[in-house]
Amino acid sequence: MTRSLVKTRAVVRLLATCLLSAGILWQLARYDLLDLALIKSAFLHNKVWIGMSVCTVGISSFLAGIRFHRLLALFSVQASFKDALISGLLSQALGQWMPGSMAVGEVLRFGLMTGLAPRRNPVGHGLSITGVKSRIGMVSLIDRFLGFGAMLSLGGLAALALLVQDGESVRASPAVPLLSAISLALGAAILTMPLLSGSVMRRLLAFFRKAGVEETTPGAGSSLQRKGIIPRTMRWLRMMVETLGTNTTRRNWVVIPLLISAGIAIVNPLSFYLSALAIGRPIPFPIILAAAPFTYIAVLLPLGFAGYGGQQLVVAGVFALLGVSPETVVATSLLQTTIVLAVQTFLGGAGAVLSLDRLRAILKSL
């Protein structure tokens, strides 16, 4: 595929997402679900709540950087906190503007960290450059598992709490027990994946060794060492199993990252809660926590440009199941999306300026 064709596809995709955003927002306004006067009033009269929402976005980004750096250290990947934080800030900033922001952001973060890997993690001690990059991939995967698992678990508990509190509208909705059950089940399953017992890991590792899949010496030995998608995938999986198995021998390795994930799972919905206060339409915090796991899909999928349009549509649908008016949710979501976009763009730009020379070196090496 030529470079010009790649650029053309990117432009077409960007235009399509912009049109999708505009179309969804137009439909929301057509059915009187989009009230921009609420957002204007928030900026004019409730700057304190907006300022507090801005702070929560910054705190969440900082906590995510701490968790990522902690996991890198646990998996023996040498990286400064500055590198780990800036790679996260840049990926969030660029990913927020691109379709499928969360997925794009993760790819960008992985690219930035693997660009640093050869310089900070020299070959030796039985670990190849491929091995270092595999560990970074494992860290990124576990980082997302812990974050999503914590959010699901807290959301499930919040939905469960809604079932026992007073409120006929909440009790009458069959969506509440369903949301609670799904969130708790998925949260438990996701959080269990990085915590597989050492015996399970040893069995998986024995399988790879028996199949002749080596970690650091591609091209030598068995047929699985030759080039190709399947051999490379097998070597990558073997590396993942071994690095994860090494850390499961330390029973407390996941405690601090999990606590940080729980903190992020509380701070992120707090930004939405403060945005609702800013527009003068408060939404109970337990409801926001219960809805958070299911509104997360709007961040994962390319449903519009920079989080506008599709995200508000998904959020309005989820909150409607919990008895919150769509007008309130759409205005709150638009305000929060604007705050997140502004803060993450600023932080990403600041990170790029602070590491401009290093970023140039990374881009040249990619």
Could you give the CA distance from residue 96 to residue 105 in angstroms, rounded to a whole number?
7
- Lowest mean pLDDT: which of 50-59, 119-128, 198-207, 276-285? 119-128
Q: How confident is the model at residue 224 (pLDDT cuts 50, 70, 90)?
A: very low
The residues spanned by each domain of the chain are 22-365
Q: Which two tokens stand for residue 73?
A: 């250290």
Q: Compute the mean pLDDT over every residue in the chain, rounded to the nearest whole number.
A: 76
pLDDT of residue 219: 38
| 53 in Cβ contact with 271 (< 8 Å) | yes
Contact predicate 313/31, CB 8 Å: no
Question: In angstroms, rounded to a whole number, what is the distance separating the alpha carbons of residues 26 and 240?
Answer: 46
pLDDT at 124: 40
pLDDT at site 135: 73
Q: Residue 160 pLDDT > 60, yes or no?
A: yes
Give the tens place of pLDDT for each residue, 129-144: 456 666 777 788 788 8
The Cα-based distances of 107 to 87, 120, 128, 187, 240 in angstroms read: 11, 20, 21, 23, 18
Is the separation of the CB atoms in 181 and 97 below 8 Å? no
- Look at the block and give the residue holding tokens 């073997």: 238
Query: Which residue reads 């959010």 in tokens?
Result: 151
What is the distance between the alpha carbons of residues 6 and 19, in angstroms, rounded to a whole number?
20
Dihedral sign computed on CA atoms, order 354, 264, 290, 324: negative
Are the C-beta atoms of residues 291 and 322 closer than 8 Å to each other?
A: yes
Q: Name beta bridge partners: 124.
A: 127
Indicate the residue type of 155.
G
Q: Name the more confident of 112 and 161.
A: 161
Specify the pLDDT at position 285. 93
Mean pLDDT of 57-68: 93
Q: Which residue has the tokens 């030529």?
A: 2
pLDDT reported for residue 60: 93
Query: What is each CA distance from 67 to 30, 72, 265, in whole angstroms?
Result: 43, 9, 13
- Tokens 């970690």 sit at which residue? 215
pLDDT score for 210: 60
Residue 114, Cβ neighbours under 10 Å: how many? Answer: 20
Report helix angle 326-354 to 356-365, nearest 10: 90
Question: What are 139's two structure tokens?
Answer: 């860290």
CA distances 316 to 173, 266, 275, Å, are: 16, 20, 15
At 280-323, the pLDDT tens digits run 999 999 899 988 888 877 777 777 787 888 888 889 988 988 88
Q: Looking at the whole model, is its pTM more than 0.85?
A: no
How many Å apart are CA 144 and CA 197, to the nearest integer?
A: 20
Distances (CA, A) of 208 to 129, 234, 235: 20, 8, 8
